[in-house]
Amino acid sequence: MKLIYFRRGILPIAHKVLLQEAQGWVNEMVNTIALPFTFFLAFGLGLKGYIAEVDGVSYMAFLTPGLITMTILMEAYRTGAWGLWLDRWHQKMLDEYRIKPIRTTDIIMGEIFGGFLVALVKGAIVAIILLIFSPVQIHWASLPQYFALVFPGCIFFTCAGSMVGTSFPKPDNIAQSQTIFITPLLYLGGLFFPIAALPEWVKPIVAWLPTTAAFEGGRNLLLKGVLDWHYMLVIWISAIISFVAATWLFKEKLSE
């Protein structure tokens, strides 16, 4: 029975996500590379003369893993947001979902797996480009643990994006939600600076952000080969909560 659900629901939805991303892939790749590379030039090259080392490594080495992780998470969010927006408001696929034997959990899981594959491909391309300009000693043996960390991060961002995409009819709302919701998470999560530099009263709050878990945890794995189980716990809790919320909201939208 579970295999039937996979074939009827999860696999076709994931395939749909990949097909959507294949359209205009050149423009997609340019847009994907532009943001992290701009941050790399503005912060990495611009501040490396003023910031010698962060946590025992050069600022360029500190920044690069965070930009790779940021790309993966942002692509997961964008895929979830635009994928569900197209399904509901443009292609009117919610009517098809109502009559087909597809569970709401399968739809969200299909979006998650499709978005994760897209995010990994684009993240790998960005990683290759950044590592050319900033030779960083990566602990390649820690990649499986890194993927185990960023996968729940992709679940969180895909589910957050899917809730935005199914809730707001105007495409401008997606960009606005990214500015209001995603950008603060990125900046507070230690993308450009270590959370140790924050005031003491902020640190306990920031330590439980999913972006902190992704950036700090991912950086520790890629640069030091060290797994922080606190960050792994935080990001999986965030993923589960977001999945439950996204599934509930999507089910409500289907019943309208």
Among the residues of the chain, which ranges form H helices?
2-5, 11-22, 25-39, 46-47, 59-85, 94-99, 104-133, 143-167, 172-177, 183-188, 203-206, 210-219, 229-255
106 within 8 A of 10, measured Cβ to Cβ: yes
Tokens representing 120 are 């990994």
First to last CA, the chain: 28
Element (H, E) at 45: none
Name the residue with tokens 């532009």: 34
pLDDT for res 211: 94
Q: Where are the domains of the chain?
A: 2-255
Q: How many CA atoms lie within 13 A of 24 on its CB side?
A: 6
The pLDDT of residue 143: 92
Predicted local confidence at residue 222, as pLDDT: 93
- In tens digits, the chain (256 residues) has pLDDT values of 455 555 556 777 777 777 777 776 777 778 888 888 888 888 777 766 667 677 778 888 888 999 999 999 998 998 888 777 776 666 666 666 655 667 777 778 888 888 888 888 899 999 998 888 887 888 889 999 999 999 999 999 999 988 888 888 787 777 788 888 888 888 889 888 888 888 888 888 999 999 999 999 999 999 999 999 999 999 999 999 999 998 888 888 766 6
**pLDDT at residue 93, rounded to an integer:** 62
What pTM value is reported for the model? 0.86
Dmax (CA) of the chain: 60
Please give the pLDDT value at position 234.
95
CA dist 172 to 25, 91, 168, Å? 22, 17, 9
pLDDT tens digits along 215-247: 999 999 999 999 999 999 999 999 999 999 988
